[in-house]
């Protein structure tokens, strides 16, 4: 499909924002120096992932040199221009915070910059959703678009944060092990709530989609749609389920389990996003 690059951009960008928000919340709640140093180091992963997402988006441009037109689009608040500028501002804010911490610059302002980056992350989620809330595409023109895009941030970001923390178990050491277990259990609880919310709301979204006045059945637009939706739900349930169950039972150190969980939910969201983009092909 032509929008495959946008599928990767939106899912990776939203998941990256979710990962950042989780790590930033932990930073805000911690005053212990070693933990702060570890969390600050993990924020570099956010910059790398955001760079990969941006590279995926660039492949969608027919003429990359025309990207400068984004600035002109801000004159009339073009949704696409706002999305791109918000992405740049979010990345810039995270980079500024990481640089300030690394070089020890203006220590008293670092938390303020971190809070600003968190706000920009939320704005980025809304800006991406705004691009696709189009009156000309009835299947997209509802609050379900915002819901799906925001949920991707939580679905991907929470297990990804758990993976990042588990990968640093050796660095944390025995003294910090109890802290890591508490955080892991808290993330697993959030993951459980997120899974329940998605499993309840996704059928409601499909029911709403079936009621929209469209010239064709959106659930049967392509033969693979049925398989795609089942794969999304199956991967999501397996990905979050195995990690949540293991974490709540006290298995808080298995890096491989968290990695498999993150890959499964990321794949699930990619499947769901392919279905979402296919909907714009519905005849008017």
The pLDDT tens digits of the residues spanning 120-144 come to 999 999 999 999 888 888 888 889 9
Return the structure tokens found at 257.
């389990």
Least confident span in 57-71, 118-132, 189-203: 57-71
The DSSP output letter for 250 is: T
Give the other-Cβ count within 10 Å of 31's Cβ.
8
- Measured in whole angstroms, the distance separating CA 208 from the mean position of its chain's CA atoms is 24
Q: Residue 113 belongs to what H/E stretch? A: helix 110-132
Using CA atoms, how far residue 78 sits from 26, 68, 71, 74, 219, in Å, is: 34, 14, 10, 6, 30
State the Cα–Cα distance between residues 214 and 142, nearest whole angstrom: 14
Among candidate residues 82, 254, 49, 75, the one with its CA nearest the CA of residue 157: 49
Q: Give the count of alpha carbons within 13 A of 152, CB side only.
A: 32
Per-residue pLDDT, 60: 67
**What is the separation, in whole angstroms, between the first and last Cα of the chain?**
20
State the Cα–Cα distance between residues 45 and 25, nearest whole angstrom: 16
Per-residue pLDDT, 2: 65
| Reported pTM | 0.89
pLDDT band at 62 (very low <50, low <70, confident <90, very high): low
Higher pLDDT, 187 or 62: 187
């Amino acid at each position: 499909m032509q929008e495959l690059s946008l599928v990767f951009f939106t899912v990776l960008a939203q998941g990256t924002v979710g990962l950042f928000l989780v790590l930033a919340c932990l930073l805000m709640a911690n005053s212990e120096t070693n933990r702060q140093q570890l969390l600050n180091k993990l924020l570099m992963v956010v910059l790398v992932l955001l760079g990969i997402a941006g590279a995926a988006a660039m492949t969608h441009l027919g003429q990359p040199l025309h990207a400068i037109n984004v600035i002109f689009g801000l004159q009339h608040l073009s949704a696409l221009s706002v999305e791109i500028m918000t992405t740049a501002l979010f990345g810039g804010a995270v980079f500024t915070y990481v640089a300030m911490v690394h070089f020890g610059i203006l220590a008293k302002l670092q938390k303020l910059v971190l809070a600003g980056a968190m706000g920009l992350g939320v704005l980025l989620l809304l800006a991406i959703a705004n691009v696709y809330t189009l009156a000309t595409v009835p299947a997209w023109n509802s609050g379900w678009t915002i819901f799906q895009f925001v949920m991707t941030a939580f679905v991907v970001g929470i297990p990804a944060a758990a993976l990042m923390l588990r990968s640093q178990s050796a660095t944390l050491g025995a003294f910090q092990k109890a802290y890591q277990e508490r955080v892991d259990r808290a993330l697993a609880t959030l993951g459980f709530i997120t899974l329940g919310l998605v499993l309840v709301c996704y059928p409601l979204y499909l029911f709403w989609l079936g009621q929209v006045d469209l010239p064709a059945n959106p659930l049967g637009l392509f033969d693979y749609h049925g398989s795609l939706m089942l794969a999304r739900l199956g991967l999501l349930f397996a990905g979050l389920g195995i990690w949540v169950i293991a974490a709540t039972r006290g298995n808080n150190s298995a890096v491989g389990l968290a990695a498999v969980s993150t890959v499964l939910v990321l794949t699930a969201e990619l499947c769901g996003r392919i279905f979402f983009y296919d909907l714009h092909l519905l005849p008017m």
